[in-house]
Structure 1
């Protein structure tokens, strides 16, 4: 079975605070973010086998419990008692630690593939949350408002979105990005309806990324990526998630592809892609 694992961008990310001591998930950050799956991503091949194994093509990544794909498969197979294993090949196409949710999407796609191969009534949402805050989103079919620590998802109907992704080759860990946020810079919830209205009208989006300022202060190359996107006549530039990938919007797929081609010729050593929003697809 071949499964597509889509990238995502955050159409705004607000950090409301930290879950207080004594409550479930104490110490985690409380999020309010609009997440959108894209038509670029990784792919996985999953085949029933007598034991669990993982191979990675396209990146130097561990193939044991240190890899979210392996852990997702291990957790599912343990929950679906009586299932022997699977041979998984991860075709890695997204840059690592880039704010596009690649590892989380790979893990969610692993759960979905195994559910199709070995139906057993397993609670995928519960497993996904144990794997990471972004993983539950990738179980769903499309754009969603994500709240709490990532476990509360509300589907949001959005028009088609076309954009250019620009990764300057820098890796940023989510732990660092949240640490750089500090405790005095929490932000208010996003105005999701205002974002949706601006998308429908083709206007600049009224959004923010609460993590962006702290990351840019330490990684000027990410600020340069945002400047390059703006110079390419794209609008609403923003860092996605904890970085380092930035994106900006275009009126059409054709204009996004043209801008991406110009930027790639100007920055040949960087990862630059045109992308569009799509519902999750697998086959």
Structure 2
């Protein structure tokens, strides 16, 4: 069995307030690209996880592997041998680890079904994991785990992901946020929320990683109708009216910035 761990992007991300538990109250519009990491699965006597791919060497701690943790959260009658092809950069604002965990939940669901409390088990692995299980456009509130499905008018939209190959941890970005509540996320269609929304972590992320501003400037210089940073960075995305416009932008950026990472796809 092969399962894609779809890259997550935040079309909008509004940070509202700091909670009593130390986390931040969020309003976000999750969307997912039809590309990402790839998990290959086969039956085994016990759970085994192997990692390959361009960014596989970044996952060196077997005790901090979210794929193994996700397997441990789900009761089954047999083990699974998982090979993770790590195509998404780590600490990049794409929910890569959460997407991998979400893919494990889908694999187990197909093979064995999921327990009734699977949402709680997913949330225990990370705030983005519940959204990554279905990997469809949805609104997230609270810490991002309170989900509301939304019919997306952006499905099929061409998207280009660009990362300057600089890892950026979430904690320092939140620490750099100025704490100002700039208002709630707009209501309406996915495209309206995306256009009228914002990413409140963009400025603090740029203060930690100035190269993000260069990526956004480059994307804004293409024929994109929307470009924004995803999550806490450093990956940025751009949306295009056509595949040809996206491909032209990808070629332009590859020529001027051959060291940047790119991934092209469509929104699910």
Q: TM-score, normalised by structure 2?
A: 0.92
Inter-partner Cα distance in structure 1 for 2:193 and 2:138 = 17
Distance change in 2, residues 1:27/1:137 (3 Å): same
Match of 1:106 in 2: 100
Inter-partner Cα distance in structure 1 for 2:82 and 2:71 = 9
Equivalent residue in structure 2 for 1:253, among 233, 238, 243: 243
The question of 1:192 aligning with 2:192 is answered no
Inter-partner Cα distance in structure 2 for 1:198 and 1:171 = 28
Match of 1:55 in 2: 50
Equivalent residue in structure 2 for 1:177, among 170, 173, 197: 173
What is the RMSD of the two structures over their aligned residues, measured on CA atoms? 1.8
Displacement, 1:194? 6.6
Displacement, 1:5? 0.7
Give the match's secondary structure for 1:166. strand
Inter-partner Cα distance in structure 2 for 1:101 and 1:198 = 20
Match of 1:19 in 2: 19
Distance change in 2, residues 1:231/1:67 (3 Å): same
Does structure 1 retain, via aligned residues, the 8 Å contact 2:150–2:190? no
Inter-partner Cα distance in structure 2 for 1:198 and 1:63 = 38
The question of 1:123 aligning with 2:145 is answered no
Deviations 1:85-117 (A, max 9, x none): 211110111111111111100011112212222
| Structure 1: 4+ residue segments shifted above 6 A | none
Equivalent residue in structure 1 for 2:74, among 48, 73, 76: 76
Match of 2:5 in 1: 5
Displacement, 1:175? 1.2
Distance change in 2, residues 1:240/1:13 (3 Å): same
Equivalent residue in structure 2 for 1:133, among 106, 127, 139: 127
Inter-partner Cα distance in structure 1 for 2:228 and 2:145 = 24
Does structure 2 retain, via aligned residues, the 8 Å contact 1:209–1:238? yes
Inter-partner Cα distance in structure 1 for 2:263 and 2:92 = 13
Inter-partner Cα distance in structure 1 for 2:18 and 2:247 = 39
Structure 2 unmatched runs, 5+: none
The question of 1:225 aligning with 2:215 is answered yes
Match of 1:142 in 2: 136
Does structure 2 retain, via aligned residues, the 8 Å contact 1:52–1:85? yes
Distance change in 2, residues 1:120/1:230 (3 Å): closer
